[in-house]
Structure 1
Amino acid sequence: MNITVFCSAYSLDARYTAPAAEFARLLGEAGHTLVWGGSHAGLMGLLADGVKEAGGRLVGISVELLAHKTYEGADELVMTADLAERKAQLLARADAVVVLVGGLGTLDEVTEVLELKKHALHDKPVVVLDTEGFYAGLRTQLERMDQEGFLPRSLAELITFAATPAEAFARLDRAS
């Protein structure tokens, strides 16, 4: 399975890196392909290293403005002209999407993927690894949107949340 992962390109505290490393190990050991932003920096680099060390394949989708941060050991590296094309490629290459902790870029990516899924432009599973309750606010907002009729599909059809790397991986296995 090609699993696109959205996450931070910044170096983070161990409470965030340890679960990401565990998810990377599970992904690689299962023989899946990581499709990610193609960066060697921060959590992105840690994820790629972990997948590669565990025997998985790496497909990086980067963008010209970040070419200086590309991961050297990717099995395939695609360079896009802009961030919009990068997001489109990340989704096009995915059989499933996993969201790890991240900043504005990650939030932008996951909301676009959900918007496209809402309109039935894809039906790929989207799983959020909610490490340390990082996405509790997003979850609360999405639940409110669902409860108050802002979503044409139920929230459970659009996205699932997992507390641990093993739970996130199990949700992917059930979806495939």
Structure 2
Amino acid sequence: MNICVFLSAADLDDRYTRPAREFAQLIGKGGHTLVWGGSDVGLMKVVADGVHETGGRLVGVTVDFLATEVRAGTDEMVITRDLAERKALLLERADAFVIMVGGMGTLDEATEILELKKHGLHDKPVVLLNTAGFYDGFEAQLRRMQEEGFLPLPLTELVSFVEEPEDALAYLEDGVLPRQFLAPAARRCRP
């Protein structure tokens, strides 16, 4: 499976790097391919290292103005003209999406992929790995949009929120969320 990961290129502390590394190792051990922004810095490097070290393939898709930060030795590296072309190619190359911690670029990619899914322009699974509660506010906003009629379909059809790396990959591979995310009484605002 080609798993596109949206995440930060910033250097972050262990509460974010440890789960990112764990998820990357699961991708590699599972024989999957990482499709990502192609950078060899920050959390992007951590994930690429983890996938590479465990035997997974690396497909980078970067943009011309970030070409100085690309990772050497990938299985494939594509350099696009602009961010719009980059996002289109990431969508095309991916079988599934995982949104990890990140800044404005990650949020832009996440909202675009959700908007396209909302309009039926793709039906690929989208998982938000909510490490250390990083996206609690984003999840609350999406739930409010659903409750107040701004989403034409249930939030659970757009994105699945998980807190652990193994739950993200299990959902992508098997389409099943862990029990705690299914029973309303046993969950904290998770589908």
Normalised by the length of structure 1, the TM-score is: 0.99
Q: Which residue of 2 aligns with 1:107?
A: 107
| Deviation digits for residues 80-131 of structure 1 (CA, Å, limit 9, x no counterpart) | 0001100111111010000110000000000000000000000000001100
- Partners of 1:27 and 1:140 in 2: CA distance: 28
- Contiguous gaps of at least 5 residues in structure 2: 177-191
Match status 1:138 vs 2:141? no
Whose relative contact order is higher, 1 or 2, with alpha carbons under 8 Å and at least 6 apart? 1
The alpha carbon displacement at 1:73 in A equals: 1.8
Q: State how far apart, in whole Å, the 1-side matches of 2:90 and 2:104 are.
A: 17
User: In the alignment, which residue of structure 1 is the partner of 2:77?
Assistant: 77
The structure with more radius of gyration = 2
Match of 1:26 in 2: 26
Unaligned runs of at least 5 residues, structure 1:
none
Following superposition, which runs of at least 4 residues in structure 1 exceed 6 angstroms of deviation? none
User: How far apart in 2 are the matches of 1:67 and 1:163?
Assistant: 32
Please tell me the residue identity of whatever aligns with 2:99: V
Alignment of 1:3-82 (within 5 A): 3-82=3-82
- CA drift of 1:173 comes to 1.2
Residues 1:125 and 2:118 aligned together: no
Alpha-carbon deviation of 1:175?
3.2
TM-score normalized by the length of structure 2: 0.91
Kindly provide the CA deviation profile for residues 14-34 of structure 1, in whole angstroms up to 9, marking residues without a partner as x: 000000000000000000000
Q: Distance in 2 between matches of 1:150 and 1:97?
A: 23
SS at match of 2:59: strand
Count of residues paired in the alignment? 176
How well do the aligned residues superpose, as a CA RMSD in angstroms? Answer: 0.9
Question: Once the two structures are aligned, what percentage of the paired residues are identical?
Answer: 62
Is the aligned partner of 1:87 residue 2:99? no
